[in-house]
Homo-oligomer: A and B are copies of this chain.
Amino acid sequence: MFIVAVVGSKKSGKTTAVETLVRGLTRRGYKVATFKHIPEARFTMDTKGKDTWRHAKAGARTVISVAPNELTVIRKVDTTKYSLEQLVAECEEDVEIIILEGFKKLIGQNLAVPKIVAAKTTDEVLEASGYYRPILALVGSIPTEAAKPKIPYVDVLKEPEKLVDLVDQKASFLLKENGNAKKD
């Protein structure tokens, strides 16, 4: 599996970058899964008052909804100590590319996970450049003068395929390498 993360401040364009990657990589034949980090305590994906919400409220540690085209597993667990490996284990084995949205602390310094940084100010670009490694690309509506470090800047809305290319190259290289390793 190839893992890439899209990180950055609120409203910096992270989700737009993730959408672009998911759409482009899926079109190119990859099986893609996404992870979204939600920092809010007491968050639930469920909707207040729904049957499944009532199940969880009553104390069910796991609530699973089974619709014809969707299976959802809600686990009431403490994820604050989870490792990247534990998260990845939640994916089906045939997933080829995982795109993380957020997870700054978990993967910020992890050299095996390239980061796409979304930013909206020069300060954000500078701060990110000091914190994240490696950075694969910059995205977001950053001022022109900020877009001049050695990191490639991609205007996701104008040239979405450029961002997809960057990830595709890295992913195909890694997946091929792993494929070969298996054959040895």
Contact = CB atoms under 8 A, between A and B. Distances in A.
Contact of A78 (B27, B69, B75): B69
Interface in A5-44: 14-15, 18-20, 22-23, 26-27, 31-44
A22 B75 CA distance: 15
B62 A43 contact: no
Contacts of A92: 61-62, 75
B32 A60 contact: yes
Copies of this chain present: 2
B44 A68 contact: no
Q: Most B CB atoms within 10 A — which of A19, A38, A52, A58?
A: A58
Interface string A88-100: 0011100100010
A181 interface: no
Interface residues of A, number: 63
Nearest to A52: B36
Given A32-B61, A36-B55, 11 more contacts: A18-B51, A19-B55, A27-B59, A36-B52, A38-B65, A40-B68, A43-B68, A62-B92, A68-B79, A70-B75, A71-B79
